[in-house]
Amino acid sequence: MGGKEAEASKSGGLFWRLLVSLIAALVIATVVLTILRDLHYFKKHRAPTHPINKKYADALQIALQFFDVQKSGKLVDNRISWRGDSGLEDGSEANLDLSKGMYDAGDSMKFGFPMAFTATILSWAILEYGDQMNAVKQLEYAHNSLRWITDFLLNAHPSENVLYIQVGDPEIDHKCWERPETMSEKRPLIQVNTTFPGTEVAAETAAAMASASLVFKQIDPAYSNSLLMHARQLFAFADTFRGCYSISIPQVQNFYNSSGYGDELLWAASWLFHATKDESYLNYVTQQNGKIFGNWDSPTWFSWDDKLAGTQVLLSRLMFFGSIEMSTVENLYLQMYRETAEILMCTLLPDSPTATSERTPGGLIWVTEWNPLQHPVASAFLAILYSDYMLTSRTETLYCSGNSYKPDDLRNFAISQADYVLGTNPMKLSYLVGYGSSYPQHVHHRGSSIPVDADTGCKDGFKWLYSKNPNPNVAVGALVGGPSFNESYSDERSNVKQSEPSTYNTALIVALLSGLLTTSSVVQSYT
């Protein structure tokens, strides 16, 4: 071979070797990027390392379906065969699309205050226990239900200082007994604004959007950014134009009357700090507003109306996991939130020296005869969270007046409340409709109680309210109000205190069940 030919051959060989090396490098880079991406995914949605509890997995699968029962609007892939499109013109009087969202309870009202709380709790459950939801194939359903609410909330906030908080007239609605698919009555709107402020409902909506922005951050960044923008605006509106919405709009007092707005301001600021890491929100809860509204050392019951206990547990995360630099003052006041959360935990533990006596003989936390299951389920959710915070941070002991308790003690309390709901009670009745062999058959719920093919209007549908027959449509996943203090339950539609379900009850039981699926720790950071 001549010199030129040999040189050409050598050059050609070098070219192919370089090409092969480049291809190999690209393949390796692709593999590495895939691994890194998957590591990020599994960091956020890691597979549980302990066996799944089938009882709670089955109950969760049932509970999540109630959100589909409650959906308004043009239904897409809805799992409830007896539900159809409804509320399609909601919001039209203000040129808004408020057709989505969820009906509050057994009626056809959309109340923004409890609906936003429902979204916040569902977001919190996903952020803490999304991996466990994913393991039992329920995470996508939770995402879809959350987005159905946040789509409504976004549309209900058309400008910085205006928020629509109610669709429908409860006085008119409650004079009718009809399926939402056939309702023809007027659906007026109520808004809060600078003239008629509503700090608690605006702040709760900000909390819902901030927490949901974290849920959708990786799934849909643009949607997440939109939620966060609205959350910031709503919090500024709530804080700048302070006023109780029950005073601004007296007609709401008969349904979701607010006991005050300080708790919602702290709750919203706490969620905004988690979503943004903007220290101004941390300053908000640890400076003057914390002193005014924090109610430190005096725990209260967590509910749609009182967010303080939830705020205390949420802010305790920062103390447990210590992922941010804090000033001495911030650290001091965060410690006060955590100490108040611990007082609540000691109140819940049945063997604690400071245990509450507000319990039924069967051990259910008891606070009120109206919707009695809300508080024990909410308390159990906070207990399982705190237990997992302790477990994840390797905090071995909780002290209650000198007595020491372990994370398992809090878990066992949470299990006792969940099991009571699912049938371990004197009535041997599951209060989660569709779960077990014995559950309420006469749920106070219009759509569930009226046959799909019934031709009824507003008034003549009441025969279904007073019918002795079981509901023809099962309100799958409904968590009814619950038993009386003496642990009896009257399965009658007219027994509103005990037999009416609600979406916020469902959000709380979904959150609790998600935490009980397996004995694993929580994610240390939401971001």
Residue 333 is assigned to a structural domain of this protein = yes
Mean per-residue pLDDT, 183-198: 96
At residue 23, the pLDDT reads 52
Confidence of residue 32 (pLDDT cuts 50, 70, 90): very low
Evaluate if residue 159 carries a pLDDT over 70. yes
- Helix axis angle for 328-348 and 308-321, nearest 10°, is 120
Mean per-residue pLDDT, 267-272: 98
Evaluate if residue 4 carries a pLDDT over 80. no
Evaluate if residue 261 carries a pLDDT over 80. yes
C-alpha atoms less than 13 angstroms from C-alpha of 387 in its C-beta half-sphere: 25
Please tell me the pTM assigned to this model.
0.91
Q: What is the pLDDT of residues 312-325, one digit of tens each?
A: 999 999 999 976 77
Q: How far apart are CA 326 and CA 336, in angstroms?
A: 14
- β-pairing, 403-405 vs 398-400, is antiparallel
Q: What is the pLDDT of residues 87-137, one digit of tens each?
A: 999 999 999 999 999 999 999 999 999 999 999 999 999 999 999 999 999
- How long is the chain? 527
What residue type is assigned to position 380 of the chain?
A
At residue 376, the pLDDT reads 98
At residue 40, the pLDDT reads 39
How large a percentage of the chain has pLDDT more than 70? 91
Q: What is the pLDDT of residues 171-182, one digit of tens each?
A: 999 999 999 999
CATH number at residue 195: 1.50.10.10
Residue 525 is assigned to a structural domain of this protein = no
Evaluate if residue 25 carries a pLDDT over 70. no
Give the residue carrying structure tokens 């409904």. Answer: 478
Residue 17 is assigned to a structural domain of this protein = no
**164 and 190 in contact (C-beta within 8 Å)?**
yes
Nearest in space to 128 (alpha carbons), one of 55, 60, 66, 45: 45
Q: How far apart are CA 202 and CA 156, in angstroms?
A: 11
Q: Domain range spanning residue 238?
A: 54-516
Evaluate if residue 262 carries a pLDDT over 90. yes
Q: State the average pLDDT for the chain.
A: 91
Q: What is the pLDDT of residues 496-524, one digit of tens each?
A: 999 999 999 999 999 999 999 998 778 88
Mean per-residue pLDDT, 71-80: 95
Q: How far apart are CA 8 and CA 11, in angstroms?
A: 5
Give one DSSP letter per residue of 65-88, joined into a string: HHHHHHB-BS-SS-S-TT---B-T
Evaluate if residue 31 carries a pLDDT over 60. no
Lowest-confidence range among 141-150, 399-408, 450-459? Answer: 450-459
Mean per-residue pLDDT, 73-84: 95
Evaluate if residue 328 carries a pLDDT over 90. no
Mean per-residue pLDDT, 284-313: 95
Residue 23 is assigned to a structural domain of this protein = no
CB-based burial of residue 462 (10 Å sphere; 0-12 exposed, 13-18 middle, 19+ buried)? middle
Evaluate if residue 36 carries a pLDDT over 60. no
- Identify the top-confidence range among 42-51, 374-383, 453-462: 374-383
Q: Which residue has the higher pLDDT, 28 or 272?
A: 272
At residue 324, the pLDDT reads 72
Residue 369, phi then psi, degrees to nearest 5: -80, -20
Mean per-residue pLDDT, 34-53: 53
Lowest-confidence range among 32-36, 222-226, 231-235, 260-264? Answer: 32-36
Q: How far apart are CA 128 and CA 514, in angstroms?
A: 9
Give the residue carrying structure tokens 């291809």. Answer: 23
Three-class secondary structure of residue 450 per DSSP: coil
At residue 14, the pLDDT reads 53
Could you list the active site residues?
444
Residue 321's contacts (CB-CB under 8 Å, 6 or more residues apart) are 389, 392, 393, 524, 525
Mean per-residue pLDDT, 451-457: 91
- β-pairing, 110-111 vs 163-167, is antiparallel
Lowest-confidence range among 21-30, 103-112, 188-197, 449-458? Answer: 21-30
At residue 525, the pLDDT reads 85
At residue 37, the pLDDT reads 37
Tokens of 477: 């996943």
Residue 25 is assigned to a structural domain of this protein = no
Confidence of residue 408 (pLDDT cuts 50, 70, 90): very high
Residue 465 is assigned to a structural domain of this protein = yes
The Cβ of residue 318 has, within 10 Å, a number of other Cβ atoms equal to 21
At residue 431, the pLDDT reads 98
At residue 2, the pLDDT reads 45
Helix (H) or strand (E) holding 165: strand 163-167
Residue 143 is assigned to a structural domain of this protein = yes
At residue 323, the pLDDT reads 67
Evaluate if residue 483 carries a pLDDT over 60. yes
Number of domains in the chain: 1
Longest dimension (CA), the chain: 105
**404 and 398 in contact (C-beta within 8 Å)?**
yes
Residue 209 is assigned to a structural domain of this protein = yes
CA of residue 37 relative to chain centroid, distance: 28
SS (H, E, C) 267-302: HHHHHHHHHHCCHHHHHHHHCHHHHHHCCCCCCCCC
Three-class secondary structure of residue 405 per DSSP: strand
Evaluate if residue 259 carries a pLDDT over 60. yes
CA of residue 97 relative to chain centroid, distance: 23
